[in-house]
Chains A and B, each alone.
Chain A
């Protein structure tokens, strides 16, 4: 297996709140945009645009916000929180502005 096919342990091994939704060991995506949002975050972290840990902290906060009213019925899905976290780290880097 060559280097570019590596799964990053920091991503695969996230525990607790930010842990990736999975079923029988495999990732679960429901919509194509979830896959795109997932892949963008992974690619940007691989390139060092942001630290994975910074993204993960934003993800923890985003999931917590979704669960603050009712932990069993979050106000949005995991990848919606993922998207919010991605937007937050990109906004910090001023990368969401149109040129």
Chain B
């Protein structure tokens, strides 16, 4: 998925997870990479011998964090709601349960709430205190989500922040800002774009990007 540039802070400074050289394995020399691989293999061997884990345990952890953690889960939820009105109703009534129907979950006691964009209402999500985020459905938050600039400004001037993302909201549309907390996490259900009536659920899933589910962009037909 493309989307807003994660790799920079709001003010344009490169962040430490920017694709600057050392984070790219390709920029490490093969010798250095081999030495690192050996250090890791030694620890893995030692601790495996001590019975702390085995290869399968580690493989499972990688699988969970690398593949089950990402905005694709949220996109599947939204696409299902677009094609299945009954599911959409269940999602709006009890998002935690409806999302669990698709096999996604993992928050510990926090409730998920889905807020629906309509021609009259545009929703956008923030966490003003820290960076609470519905990560079981959206994966890891983008860097800008945690920036003080986004957190404070979206409350004071949501239309201005949306404009920064290239999202124009008509004057007669109400903008609602939802403040996530340790107890409640919000997910935006974007409007299904016109011209997508004949798309399959899978094709719709591919249209729904992370930023649309935070509410800073709309879903557009590519």
Contact = CB atoms under 8 A, between A and B. Distances in A.
Contact of A43 (B3, B26, B52): B52
A96 B43 contact: yes
Contacts of B165: none
A73 B22 CA distance: 8
B33 to A, nearest CB: 6
B23 A25 contact: no
Interface string A18-36: 0111111111111111111
Interface residues of B, number: 65
B21 interface: yes
Contacts of A44: 47, 52-53
Contacts of B141: 25
B103 A1 contact: yes
A1 B105 contact: yes
Interface residues of A, number: 59
B197 interface: no
A71 B14 CA distance: 10
Q: Among the interface residues A1, A9, A24, A29, which one has the most CB atoms of the partner chain B within 10 A?
A: A24
B16 A23 contact: no
B40 interface: yes
Contacts of A77: 22-25, 28
Nearest to A12: B135
B17 A21 contact: yes
27 contacts: A7-B69, A13-B131, A13-B133, A13-B135, A19-B17, A22-B139, A23-B6, A23-B7, A24-B209, A25-B141, A25-B142, A26-B71, A27-B69, A29-B66, A31-B28, A33-B40, A38-B65, A39-B57, A39-B59, A40-B53, A43-B52, A63-B16, A72-B14, A78-B22, A80-B36, A87-B43, A90-B47
The 9 residue pairs across chains A and B that have the minimum distance between CB atoms: A30-B25, A25-B139, A39-B58, A77-B22, A39-B61, A26-B70, A33-B37, A21-B17, A33-B40
